[in-house]
Amino acid sequence: MKRKDRPVAGRALPGNESILRQLWRDPMGRAGMIGVGLVILMALLAPWIARFDVAKMNSKAKLAAPGAEFWFGTDHFGRDVFSRIVYGARVSLEVGIVAVGIAAGFGYLLGMIAGFFEGRTETLIMMVMDVIFAFPSILLALFIVSALGTSILNTMIAIGIVNIPVFTRTVRASVKTVKSTDYIANARSIGLKKMKILFRHVTPNVLAPFTVQATLALSGAILTEASMSFLGLGIQPPNPSWGSMLSDARKYMERAPWLVLFPALFIILTILSFNILGDSLRDVLDPKLKL
Amino acid sequence: MDHLLEIRNLKITTLRGKDKVYLLDSVDLSIRKKCSFGVVGESGCGKSITASAILGLLPYPLRVAEGSIRFDSRDGEKELLKLSRKEMRQVRGEEISMIFQEPMTSLDPIFTVEMQMFEALSFHHPGMGKGEMREIALEMLHRVNIPRPEQTLASYAHQLSGGQLQRIMIAIALINNPRLLLADEPTTALDVTIQAQILHLMNDLKEQRDTSIIMITHDLGVIAETCEEVAVFYAGQIVEQAQVVELFTHTAHPYTKGLLRAVTSLGGAQRKLYTIPGIVPPGGQWSRGCRFAERCEQCMEKCREEMPALREIAPGHFCRCFLQDREVEA
Amino acid sequence: MRDYIIRRLLTLIPILIGVSIAIFVVMQLIPGDVVSGILGIEETPELRAMWEAKLGLDKPLIQQYFSWIGRAVTGDFGESFRTGAPVFPEIMNRFAISAELAILACIIAWIIALPLGILSSLKRNSFIDRIVRVVALLGVSVPNFASATLLILFFSKAFHYYTPVKYVGLFENFGTNMEIMILPAFILGSVMAGSVMRMTRSSMLEVLRQDYIKAVRAKGSPERVTIFRHAFRNSSIPIVTLIGMQIGALMGGTVVIEQIFSIPGLGQFTLTGISQRDFPVVQGCVLFIAFLYVMVNLLVDILYTFIDPRISYS
């Protein structure tokens, strides 16, 4: 009897409006929503906010300090840090959202299959999940990326694969709970196909834990992308990534500390916002976990 | 002190958001020595928190807002609400102990019965040796009719039945010969046949020792079997209090009457199950009039406007109802 | 119990075989090959053939795999394509370094997290609780490379202090080794501490409202006994699970931190292996990490039985 394997019963998602309102009422939830909202706005409005071309080098203004022209200063190529930060938000979110989409999609499918067929199929799927889970996520993502080649899409795929197991486990647990309940028997007696029943009942059941997990996975995915780019194996130049900006900045840290400060600040605030939002979402959607 | 325990004007509050909400409102109780006193009422009436307050174990965020609880301990009279944490610890388990509603969850699941019985002894007698503790523990298990005491000592909670566990809880509670035992719904979670056994056991033990019992229950049947005196709680107040026989023969308050009608075991024959309509209004939603008015079949206009006082309607028989005033006047 | 352990160890075999096949296939997919990496611009067809024969790359894939696994069973993980040095002893050296870092990080994390988590649960919704929750949230939210870079920047600006660049072993010079390790260990520890604190707090809160805690208090238990003997032990299972997972992840070394502080641990070794297409190194490292993870999990499961008598494997 391992506690971590215990099935997590999900709850159906209440109406959207009430969730948002409940989140807003909680000061933490409000802070998370505002933080996440700002990052999303920054990413969406990047072309209008950014003041310079992210790749444009300016040999006259290398390592310029923050000021009226370059709000966050410039890097060793004379590129505007503010613009790169703004576009970096776009890259982070894109990678995060696509990666979590991949993870949630495959996780959902695999979890359904594992929970539905049981037996050997389930053992095999869960063993693969355990193996994926066994690896430090960065190491596995790096491994996949070096096999596929470094590109934005491959970074997304790698981070996506790494995150599949959490979703698979949730869905499988939920399928098992649903299977053991009476209403499956009832639904079957009115002649619904078994698989159809499962899809219809499992989906609303996993929505709440899924949403919570997706929010937390998003912050994890953004973190993994930043770490990979930091190591030079994620987003490649000239695309701006907060991780690679921070990594590049280390060489000029002494002369230009703002090169370190701004990307670090934005990474931290973004991940913090997603984590706060995830926590508050869990409190709202899964009240029995609230302590 | 005349009494073993005297509760005066006890008020308990909780926090709801930023508001202070009363859960117990000016309760007075006096428990005589060597007496078993029943406290009866539906859940949410404030019975259990009264017991918790006596032991200083109110759960967060409940607080005693006002009042006094005086206890005649072995070393003289003590005001329980003014004791330091350390002094309170010496009272708990040594002079006042408690047994709970859910025996299945009242023992720590990861320790043996032996260890938990020894704990009750060693908290109050730090120097006591293992051998002596074992002797006392076995003797106590024997007294509460545990069939294989030796084996039981080595067991964990999940290996024992609810009835056995409640016996063990009673053994632990009485192991230091306390002056007062608080029994919070001790039989509610148990099977009917086991309930009767536990109640008999408690009666026997009370006869043997000079322990007073406060029996908290929602079941008037339990009161009838075990208690001498009884107080009926409703919505954080006492609504009726009397000797048990007096209460059953001259029931005065409509709420008590409702409770009595709801007890099937006393009716014997198959009657239609009676329930009092509605629920106990939770703390913070009490009307300024009689709190039972909403559910009362004999509710008058006055009842909604004004709170009736707890008045002595016969020697030792108190009731909080305007109907009694009318009868007295008439 | 013994049967259970044996059974668990047996399940290790298919996992390791599966992992090794997966690694083998993925390594084939990695573009670029080791021979051109070694030869560089001096590459000629003759030299290439010679090297391929030397490394065994001229044989069919299946045969390559079986010859590798045949040796691996005997504990021989082959030699590095790059350096020619045997892989297994190198993994052990690297592992010792990563393990030292991991142990230091754990000690720091527990010293911070357990007392604060317990305190926070006892003083629920108080000022202290709020502070602890914010600190824990920061711990889980600040990426280790960001805090590492910021701390390095801080030490250099404020104290003109730089951590030694060249790694010195624990037994070569204890002082220098500690100087190198303590900052990375602190950074890793603070990340771990965040989640341990959160888990400790929520698990303690859950246990503290159980009936048996009230029952223990009703017996006249001193708070110290109530909290540590009863509440903390009962809430330790999810904490142990979390810590086990963290150790499992740490055992593989922590690529980023090892990279930033130039610590030659297992993570860094794996990373270099991947970027140099050094198949025996990657294969060996990955298998070893998988093995460690399963072992840590097994240890955690065994530890459960000591914490909770209701858990038994038979």
Per-residue pLDDT tens digits for A131-157: 787 777 888 888 888 878 888 888 999
Q: Is residue C42 part of a domain?
A: no
What pLDDT, on the 0 to 100 scale, is given for residue A286?
66
Which stretches within B146-253 are classed as H helix?
149-153, 162-174, 192-208, 220-226, 244-249
Min Cα separation B207/chain C (Å): 23
Nearest to C310 among B106, B124, B158 (CB): B158
Q: What is the count of structural domains for chain C?
A: 1
Q: How far apart are CA C78 and CA C71, in angstroms?
A: 7
What pLDDT, on the 0 to 100 scale, is given for residue A193?
67
What pLDDT, on the 0 to 100 scale, is given for residue B326?
63
- The reply to whether residue B110 touches residue C307, judged by beta carbons under 8 angstroms, is yes
Q: Is residue C51 part of a domain?
A: no
Residues of C in contact with A219 (CB under 8 A): 141
Q: Is residue C132 part of a domain?
A: yes
What pLDDT, on the 0 to 100 scale, is given for residue C174?
85
What pLDDT, on the 0 to 100 scale, is given for residue A1?
36
pLDDT digits (tens, 9 = 90+) for A24-83: 877 888 888 898 899 898 888 877 776 767 676 666 766 667 776 667 777 777 677 788
Residue B200 confidence (pLDDT) above 70: yes
What pLDDT, on the 0 to 100 scale, is given for residue A63?
64
Min Cα separation B135/chain C (Å): 19
Full-model pTM? 0.84
Q: Is residue C213 part of a domain?
A: no
Closest chain C residue to B56, measured at CA: C218
Chains C and A touch (3+ CB pairs under 8 A): yes
pLDDT digits (tens, 9 = 90+) for B233-275: 999 999 999 999 999 999 999 999 988 887 755 445 555 667 7
Q: Is residue C261 part of a domain?
A: yes
Nearest to A227 among C145, C270, C301 (CB): C145
Q: Domain segments of chain A: what residues?
A: 25-290
Task: For residue C307, give both structure tokens.
Answer: 């914490």
Task: Name subunits touching B (3+ CB pairs < 8 A).
Answer: C
- The reply to whether residue C146 touches residue A267, judged by beta carbons under 8 angstroms, is yes
- The reply to whether residue B106 touches residue C215, judged by beta carbons under 8 angstroms, is yes
Q: Do domains B5-95+178-329 and B96-177 have the same CATH topology?
A: yes
Q: Is residue C202 part of a domain?
A: yes
Q: pLDDT grade, residue A203 (50/70/90)?
A: confident
- The reply to whether residue A130 touches residue C15, judged by beta carbons under 8 angstroms, is yes
The CATH number of the domain covering residues in B96-177: 3.40.50.300
Q: What average pLDDT score do residues B53-62 get?
A: 89
pLDDT digits (tens, 9 = 90+) for A235-274: 887 788 888 888 887 887 777 788 888 888 889 999 999 9
Q: What average pLDDT score do residues B41-53 get?
A: 89
Domain A25-290 sits in which CATH superfamily?
MetI-like (1.10.3720.10)
Residue A289 confidence (pLDDT) above 50: no
CATH number of the domain at C243, please.
1.10.3720.10
What pLDDT, on the 0 to 100 scale, is given for residue A249?
79
Residue A9 confidence (pLDDT) above 50: no
Q: Is residue C78 part of a domain?
A: no
Chains C and B touch (3+ CB pairs under 8 A): yes
Q: pLDDT grade, residue A178 (50/70/90)?
A: confident
Nearest to C211 among B60, B93, B102 (CB): B102
Q: What share of chain B has pLDDT > 90, as a percent?
A: 52
From the list C214, C237, C217, the residue with the least C-alpha distance to C225 is: C217
Q: Which range of residues forms the domain containing residue C167?
A: 87-208+239-307
The CATH number of the domain covering residues in B5-95+178-329: 3.40.50.300
- The reply to whether residue C255 touches residue A142, judged by beta carbons under 8 angstroms, is yes
Tens of each residue's pLDDT in chain C, 314 residues: 788 888 888 877 887 888 888 777 777 776 666 677 677 777 777 777 777 777 777 777 788 788 878 887 787 888 888 888 898 999 999 999 999 999 999 999 999 999 999 999 998 888 999 999 999 999 988 988 888 888 888 888 888 777 777 788 888 888 888 888 899 999 999 989 999 999 999 999 989 989 999 999 999 999 999 999 999 999 998 899 889 888 877 876 588 899 888 899 998 898 888 888 788 888 888 888 888 888 888 888 888 888 888 888 76
